[in-house]
Amino acid sequence: MVPPPPTNKPHVCLSAILIMGSMALMDAYLVEQNQGPRKIGVCIMVLVGDICFLLVLRYVAVWVGSEVRTSKRGYTMILWFFYVFVLEIKVYFVYQNYKAEDGKRASLDGWTGGGVDGVARKALTLLLSICVPVVYITLVAIDHMEYVRPQKKKEEIRCRLFWVVVDLLDVLDVQANLWEPQRRGLPLWVEGLMFFYCYILLLVLPCVSLSEISMQGVNIVPHKMMLYPILSLVTINIITLFIRGGNMVFYRDSRVSGILMGKNVIAIVLKTCSFVQYRRHLGEVPSPALGVEMQKNCVVHGPKVTMPVERPLNRIGV
């Protein structure tokens, strides 16, 4: 029988607590949105779902804890995908319940979702904007990357992961426009498109960032991690800029975040400059230097071969 891999128990416990805590808070929203006998049925369904999720988490989290001190992030990507997949399903039902409440109260003139209900919606946005980035930072575990020796290189990786966190907040802000108080509702197809577009970004983009760390192995080079910046430039910095601009122009959405629109403009400029510098650096480096760098980044594991050494013949005898 294969023994279990050595795990980082504090990391496993912390990630499991954060994940299950955010799930429990979303369950509280789902239960409180239902009244009467339906509340009991929803509570039972939520508990059954959490037990199944906890059983899967028990095994996946152990494997995630076993790869914390290595350059591999395969199980970390699986856990992130699984976590966001379940969390966003619960967010979708919470959002649909809020939408149903808005339909019932549409007959009230001048109602904009204020009061206690408006505070609860903004608290949901705050909850997601804290839990999702914190879980991502915990799963990355950059402080446990012992194979990254230079402190400068570790700071560069931390800076790139900071951009991932900012992009997560950007996506969550776009998604939060669906359940926060609105003066004028968006068309049904626009709401569905916005929700599932943000859903896909939350699922895929952090996994791309983790895969860049995993693919480079022990000899990680931060300035060559260009896949995530390219994808985020198109899918977040450009497209969400058009989404916010369209909501502001066509639907008179006064809740559009001007700060995050400015962030997207700055990110477009900075990432474009980084791409130009990276291409220029590749053009200036000659091909032999690239070969030497590739040899340095490769770690060869194999048996040592001892070469025979010739001995000089004796002058008297053979």
The predicted-structure confidence for 110-158, as pLDDT tens digits, reads as follows: 545 556 678 889 999 999 999 999 999 999 888 777 767 667 777 888 8
Q: Which of residues 310 and 48 earns the better pLDDT score?
A: 48
Q: Mapping DSSP to helix (H, G, I), strand (E, B) and coil, where does residue 184 land?
A: coil
On the question of pLDDT at 197 being above 70, the answer is yes
On the question of pLDDT at 299 being above 70, the answer is no
Alpha-carbon distance of 69 to 147, in angstroms, equals 8
Instruction: Say which residue the tokens 């929803």 belong to.
Output: 42
Going by C-alpha positions, the residue among 68, 199, 177 that lies closest to residue 124 is: 177
Domain assignment present for 318: no
Q: Give mean pLDDT, residues 221-231.
A: 80
Q: Mapping DSSP to helix (H, G, I), strand (E, B) and coil, where does residue 10 land?
A: helix
On the question of pLDDT at 287 being above 70, the answer is no
Cβ burial of 238 (10 Å; 0-12, 13-18, 19+) is middle
Domain assignment present for 314: no
Domain assignment present for 299: no
Q: Mapping DSSP to helix (H, G, I), strand (E, B) and coil, where does residue 152 land?
A: helix
Domain assignment present for 237: yes
Provide the pLDDT confidence category of residue 226 given band limits of 50, 70 and 90: confident
On the question of pLDDT at 292 being above 70, the answer is no
Alpha-carbon distance of 154 to 147, in angstroms, equals 10
Domain assignment present for 309: no
Say what percent of the chain tops pLDDT 70: 78
Domain assignment present for 303: no
Domain extent at residue 147: 9-105+118-292
Rounded to two decimals, the pTM is 0.82
Q: Mapping DSSP to helix (H, G, I), strand (E, B) and coil, where does residue 287 land?
A: helix
* Contact of 214 with 289, CB cutoff 8 Å: no
* Number of independent structural domains in the chain: 1
Going by C-alpha positions, the residue among 199, 120, 131, 237 that lies closest to residue 245 is: 237
pLDDT of 158 reads 85
Query: Helices (H) and strands (E) in the chain — how many of each?
Result: 10, 0
Domain assignment present for 37: yes
pLDDT tens-digit map of 100-110: 887 777 655 55
Q: Which of residues 32 and 69 earns the better pLDDT score?
A: 32
The least confident of 99-103, 112-116, 162-166, 228-232 is 112-116
On the question of pLDDT at 270 being above 70, the answer is yes
